Structures are given as structure tokens and as C-alpha cells.
Chain A
Amino acid sequence: MVLLGAGCQTVNTTETAQPAFQRNMVAEKRVITDGSLARKVQVQGVNVSEGPGGFLKVQAEVLNTTRSYQRFAYKWEWFDKDGNVVEGPSSVAVTRQVEGKESLFIQGVAPNPTVRDFRLKLYENAR
């Protein structure tokens, strides 16, 4: 029983009822090939902003829908106005860990101001 309980540690969260910020949420299209991961770690929403320097900044809220600790990796892909891939620092897989029922934000910044669009990939087999 102790062993079973050790794997399940969930997170209690408190936040303001009416947040002072307004997120610019974007409509997404999701392609899910790994149903196992999609059942565990889900993207709740994606919002974008752009600073004075013209770099696109993207933030995705990810929720661990299970009651157990999960590991996953994510990678950003960036595209210019013509749809060409723009390689950048965040074009590498970054591993993250999330407690049961916890949500966290993952952020990406475009590698240069020519970037107009993005894609977020989630991987399950992260160590």
C-alpha cells in the first residue's frame, strides 16, 4: 500500500479567481499519434505575444491528467512567413517532469524576428 501511494503525489493549486492578465490564446490543430502520452500529459492552451524586438514568444500550459509523476520532453519548431523552418536554440528536446494533476507552463522564444509561426512537439520517452 505504501509502495502504491509513493507513486501518486498530486499537487494542490491556488490562484486568483479573476486574473489581472489577458492571454492572447491561439486556435490550435493537434495531431496525436501517441495516445498513451496524450492521456497523461495534455496541452490545455497556447498563447502568443510579441515584444518590441519583434520576437514571437509562445507559452503552452501542460496538464498532467494522471495522479502519478510523469516525464516528458518537448521541442519547438519555428517557421517564417513562407513556411520554411528556422533553426534556433529551442530546436532541441527539453525534458520536463510534472507531478500528478500538476499543470505547468512551457515557454519558447523565436530564434529571430522573421519567425511568424510555430509547432510544439511532445515526446513521452523522456528520461
Chain B
Amino acid sequence: MNRSLVSALVAAAVAVLLGGCSTQATYVDPGSTRTLSNVGEINVQDWNMASEAMVSSLIAKHINSGNLKGSGPDGRAVLAISRIVNNTSIQIDTDILVKKIRVSLLGTGKVVADITAGLGGPEDPLAAEAKREAQFLGTQKVAARPDYTLSGKIIENRTRQGNRNESTYVFQMALATRDGLAVWEEEKTITKQSKRSAVGW
């Protein structure tokens, strides 16, 4: 057997092996329990559960009780997003949580979001400019300040015992009025455990 034939056979064998190892991506419902989760990160399911807990609590404790007062269109409350502090060791985009909450609150028909007010500048600069113009010209009655602001914090706590790892993520949120009074607060704690493999690397 000459050298070129051996090389060709080895290359073919490697190609077959690699081809056998390739996996095909499959779609899963992000709202299901089929998504992947691990201890070291906040996963899709965690964000879903945190936002579900926050929105359900906000509706049940504040909106459904008839306590929501608004100066927006049709008497709806105007909400602006304040600071959401990430106090975890991982880099996360808090918009994953905030956007879910905003979408759900808008869906209640009782709340509108002010995207011209924000700590890091307006989310929509063009809308902010249009609002300023309308206020200056007096052509449109636009509320200068939002009725409510939403703030929050995400905290992490990790621990290990024997061959078990545990991560706890605490999601805290508060809704404050123009007077700075918190009228709703909620905390959702998600704890995950995993077992380290006997042969780790």
C-alpha cells in the first residue's frame, strides 16, 4: 500500500468521524422547560420565571387592586425605567428582564411606557425630540414626568458543599411614584444546584 493511498484512507476516516460528530440544531419553545440551564448563568427559563413572578405580582398587588393612577392617554399610567443594578459576577443585559415586563404591562391596557426618559439618555431620541418640541410649542399636552418609575437589582450568591454547586439569583424590583414613594416591591429568588462530575477538568 503506497503512502498516498494510506493518506487518502486516513483523510476519509477522519471525514466520516467528524461528519458523525456534527449535530443538527433543533428549535425549542423558549417558554418551556426544554431549554438548557446551568448553575453558573441566568438562563432563559430563569428570566422567564423572574419576569412572570414580577408581572403577576405587579398586576395582582397593584394594578388589579385599582391603585394604579395615571396621567397618560385614556387615564393609563406612564411608566419609565430607572436603574436596574447588576450585582452578579456575570455580564448580563438587564433588558432581557425589563423588556419582558414592559411588554406585559403594556398588554394590560393600564400602562404605557415612556421611552423618552431614561438614566442613560432616551431609548428613542427621535421621540424625545418630538416630545420636547410639542411641549415647547404647546401643541400637545404631554406629561413632563412619568407617573411611576421601575427600578431593580439582581444579586447573586454562590456556594459549594462537597460535590454540589449552588447558585442563587435574587431579582428585586420596586415601583415608585413621582413623590419617590415605593408603592410596590417584589423579590423573586431562583436557586439552582448541580453535581460536579467525579472527573472534572
Closest chain-A Cβ to B70's Cβ sits at a distance in Å of 12
B157 at the A/B interface (Cβ < 8 Å)?
no
| Chain A contact surface mostly | loop
| Chain B contact surface mostly | helix
Closest chain-A Cβ to B198's Cβ sits at a distance in Å of 18
Cα–Cα, bound, A126→B101 (Å): 24
The 0/1 profile, CB within 8 Å of B marked 1, for residues 38-80 of chain A is 0000000000000111110100000000000000010100000
Q: Which of B33, B55, B66, B109 contacts A89 (CB 8 A)?
A: B55
Q: Is the CB of B33 within 8 A of A52?
A: no
If the complex has contacts A53-B65, A55-B63, A57-B60, are A95 and B104 also in contact, measured as CB distance less than 8 A?
Answer: no
Cα–Cα, bound, A92→B49 (Å): 7
The 0/1 profile, CB within 8 Å of B marked 1, for residues 66-106 of chain A is 00000001010000000000011111111100000000000
Q: Which of B33, B45, B65, B109 contacts A123 (CB 8 A)?
A: B33
Chain B residues in 8 Å Cβ range of A109 = 56, 59-60, 64
Q: Which of A75, A93, A95, A112 contacts B107 (CB 8 A)?
A: A112
Q: Is the CB of A125 within 8 A of B33?
A: yes
Cα–Cα, bound, A87→B33 (Å): 18
Chain B residues in 8 Å Cβ range of A113 = 108-109
Q: Is the CB of A51 within 8 A of B31?
A: no
If the complex has contacts A51-B64, A73-B33, are A108 and B56 also in contact, measured as CB distance less than 8 A?
Answer: yes
Chain B residues in 8 Å Cβ range of A90 = 52, 55-56
If the complex has contacts A91-B31, A95-B33, are A52 and B60 also in contact, measured as CB distance less than 8 A?
Answer: no
Chain A residues in 8 Å Cβ range of B55 = 88-90
Q: Is the CB of A92 within 8 A of B31?
A: yes
